Amino acid sequence: MKLDKDLVREILLAIEAYAEPEGLIVLEIDDRPSEEVSYHVRLLDEACLLAAL
């Protein structure tokens, strides 16, 4: 699967929109398969761009 920079941006904005997330965040990005979103979240995690609090 190829890196989709627009999807990365959408994911980061969606995560930022959660004021104080508790537990897991369920990301539903319009018109994107969950497998594609999960893949990009994993890439963000591997790049240390996400942190669990």
Q: pLDDT digit string (tens) for 8-47?
A: 999 999 988 887 767 778 888 989 999 999 999 999 999 9
Residue 9 belongs to some domain of the structure:
yes
Predicted TM-score of the model (pTM): 0.83
Asked if 27 contacts 8 with a C-beta cutoff of 8 angstroms, the reply is: no
Does 40 map to a domain? yes
Interatomic CA distance for residues 25 and 8, integer angstroms: 16
Q: How many domains does the chain have?
A: 1
Distance between CA atoms of residues 48 and 29, nearest Å: 21
Range of the domain at 11: 5-46
Q: Is residue 51 part of a domain?
A: no
Structure confidence at residue 25 (pLDDT): 80
φ/ψ of 39, rounded to 5, equals: -60, -45
pLDDT of 43 reads 95
Within a domain: 10:
yes
Taken in order 36, 52, 15, 26, is the CA torsion positive or negative?
positive
